[in-house]
């Protein structure tokens, strides 16, 4: 791989094929092979791992992972690029190449991808599912977020993403980066930025910095949330107008099933001032708050008419 994934090699290969990187697909290729090693170390590859890679590109990371794992399912939306990658990966017997958009829509992954992962896991009892990828900026958030709602659940995700997004994921309360995504990720996972990346390690160069982030779902954290779907939906609604006061935010987020007096009761029982904002609450407080609204809703629905 020493002569692969360099600027010269990529630019010449693209020129020979008569194609160019496509901005609409967020195509920025890693041209520093040392970064591939950082991704690999963060993923802690085991011999029977089943890896999902989103954004095959020219197949350099795919080929680097192949000898160390059980199977790689790699997804590329660009058919022209997939043809080039297929040539690079022809000698790798443990790779499944899919040509599709990994997202069915912004809230769901494509079932074809999940089925491919499930099939390879079933064929390798005890195998772990991991996401390892140089993610396109424009789809990184829905991919990472939605993978926490599917079965099978990844054992870890080690990905390159825009640094601004990485900082949102690990942000503390009371700062501009703290958001519904922050709470969603931190309530279910252990998240750590492994390295920041300058634009110079990519071709074409993006206008922003990137980061490698490791996200490890935590079963103990997940067990604190009784209804994942309810939590996710209500959490996003709670931060839809993040500058509103907490009482107003919560009343709007739960307006379909709770009255304002019920909202006031919940805030009073939890000792939360209505003049707080949601961004001032830590992850544990948000979990406690949304569980209280869920229980209040369930209690109201269980009562006879």
- Per residue in 199-236, pLDDT (tens digit) is 999 999 999 999 999 999 999 999 999 999 999 999 99
Buried/exposed code over 137-170 (b: 16+ C-beta within 10 A; e: otherwise) = bebbbbbbbbbbebeeebbbbbbbbbbebbbbbb
Q: What is the CA radius of gyration of the chain?
A: 22
Domains of the chain: 7-219 (3.40.50.150), 228-302 (1.10.8.100)
Is 180 within 8 Å of 238 (Cβ atoms)?
A: yes
Please report, for the chain, how many H helices and E strands are present, in that order: 13, 11
Is 52 within 8 Å of 131 (Cβ atoms)?
A: yes
pTM: 0.93
Question: What are the respective helix, strand and coil percentages of the chain, to the nearest 5?
Answer: 45, 20, 35
Per-residue pLDDT, 6:
79
- % of the chain with per-residue pLDDT over 70: 97
Q: What mean pLDDT comes out for the span 76-91?
A: 94
């Amino acid at each position: 791989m020493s002569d692969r994934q360099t600027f010269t090699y990529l630019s010449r290969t693209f020129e020979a094929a008569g194609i160019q990187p496509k901005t609409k697909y967020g195509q920025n290729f890693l041209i520093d092979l040392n970064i591939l090693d950082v991704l690999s170390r963060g993923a802690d590859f085991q011999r029977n791992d089943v890896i999902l890679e989103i954004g095959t590109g020219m197949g350099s990371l795919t080929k680097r992972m192949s000898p160390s794992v059980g199977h790689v399912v790699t997804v590329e939306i660009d058919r022209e690029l997939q043809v080039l990658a297929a040539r690079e990966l022809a000698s790798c017997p443990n790779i499944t190449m899919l040509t599709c958009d990994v997202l069915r829509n912004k809230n769901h992954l494509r079932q074809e991808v999940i089925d491919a992962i499930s099939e390879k896991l079933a064929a390798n009892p005890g195998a772990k599912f991991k996401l390892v990828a140089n993610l396109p900026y424009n789809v990184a958030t829905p991919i990472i977020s939605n993978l926490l709602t599917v079965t099978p659940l990844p054992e870890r995700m080690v990905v390159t993403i825009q640094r601004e997004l990485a900082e949102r994921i690990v942000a503390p309360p009371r700062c501009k980066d703290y958001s519904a995504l922050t709470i969603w990720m931190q309530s279910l996972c252990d998240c750590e930025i492994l390295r920041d990346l300058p634009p110079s390690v990519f071709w074409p160069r993006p206008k922003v910095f990137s980061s490698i982030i490791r996200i490890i779902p935590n079963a103990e954290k997940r067990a604190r949330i009784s209804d994942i779907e309810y939590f996710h939906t209500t959490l996003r609604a709670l931060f839809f107008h993040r500058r509103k006061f907490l009482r107003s935010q919560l009343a709007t987020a739960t307006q379909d099933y709770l009255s304002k007096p019920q909202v006031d009761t919940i805030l009073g029982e939890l000792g939360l001032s209505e003049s707080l904002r949601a961004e001032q609450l830590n992850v544990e407080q948000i979990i406690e708050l949304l569980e209280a609204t869920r229980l209040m809703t369930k209690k109201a629905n269980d009562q006879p008419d």
